[in-house]
Amino acid sequence: MTRTQVELGLRADCASCFGLCCVALPFQASSDFAVDKPAGQPCANLQADFRCGIHDRLRDSGYAGCTVYDCFGAGQKVSQQTFEDRDWRQDRATARAMFAVFPVMRQLHELLWYLAQALELTEAATVHDDLRRALAEVDELTRASAAQLQVLDVGPVRERANALLLRASELARAGVPGRADHRGADLVGARLRGADLCGASLRGALLVGADLRGADLRRADLIGADLRGADLSGADLTGALYLTQPQLQAARGDGQTTLPPALGRPSHW
């Protein structure tokens, strides 16, 4: 994580959260989840102390979807700051409000993650002032009241931030000759073993199950790219832009996969 990401509290601290992702969010029985669960209903595996009863065996128990989720610190912000350490189990009104605020806060924290990462791109120095202003704006929104957050339209906020993130990406990748543009491309199951994707735009690309073994993904823009089941064995992700831990958790890789220093190697690789 960058220093700014650390300062903003963008790493999930489950011990300081009331298990919000295990209650507020819905999931459906699939390859990612063993059962159906509606929004607002606690997961059967959530314990009284808000810990997960199967945390050390989620994948083996059919809950792989939980291992690829990251709230970027939104859970503890909502629990400890917005609701001032009020447990959602105290009353229904608190629960309804908290569950409505959590997804909004999660979007804001994800934006903060990307903006903080963009500020580390030295090639994008010309937009750093704009990025700092955008980061300050989003950070201020995370400190709004529960009532304000429940009615916040995150869409325009995301659009303004994304324009800056795109500009920073273009500046950071400008020095890579012949960089490919696969923005939003359908590359499901694509055979890209050993592909030269250095500096490529893969923003929002569907790379589900793609063979990216040994691919050169240095300085590639991976914001919003769907890497579920993609094979990154031996791939080089040095300096990859906007790559997140959930994306890596959803993919496959090995000990030869080169990762940015701010991200960890998933335990299932």
Last residue of a domain, one of 154, 172, 190: 172
- Using CA atoms, how far residue 40 sits from 89, 99, 129, 144, in Å, is 11, 7, 40, 22
Q: Which amino acid is at 98?
A: M
Q: Are residues 140 and 120 in the same domain?
A: yes
pLDDT of residue 262: 87
Out of 125, 155, 172, pick the residue that ends a domain: 172
Its domain, for residue 137, covers 3-172
Q: Are residues 184 and 164 in the same domain?
A: no
Looking at residue 3, its pLDDT comes to 81
User: Which pLDDT value is given to residue 139?
Assistant: 97
pLDDT beneath 50, residues of the chain: none
pLDDT at 58: 95
Domain C-terminal end among 135, 154, 172: 172
Could you tell me if 104 and 185 lie in one domain?
A: no
Q: Per the structure, how many domains does the chain have? A: 2
**208 and 167, same structural domain?**
no
pLDDT of residue 2: 82
Q: Are residues 79 and 9 in the same domain?
A: yes
Domain co-membership, 211 together with 112: no
In the numeric block, which tokens belong to residue 172? 């950071």
The domain that holds 196 is classified in CATH as 2.160.20.80
pLDDT per position as a tens digit, 202-216: 999 999 999 999 999
The whole-number pLDDT of residue 265 equals: 96
* One domain for residues 213 and 262: yes
**Is residue 224 domain-shared with residue 161, that is, in the same domain?**
no
Cβ partners under 8 Å of residue 231, min gap 6: 210, 211, 212, 213, 251, 252, 253
Task: Give the tens place of pLDDT for each residue, 174-200.
Answer: 999 999 999 999 999 999 999 999 999
- The pair of structure tokens assigned to 199 is 């500096």
Contact 247, 267 (CB under 8 A): no
Residue 46 and residue 138 in one domain: yes
The per-residue pLDDT for 17 is 97
Q: Which residue type, as a one-letter code, is found at position 56?
A: D
Clarify whether residues 242 and 127 are in a common domain. no
Query: What span, in angstroms and rounded, lies between the C-alpha atoms of 57 and 219?
Result: 34
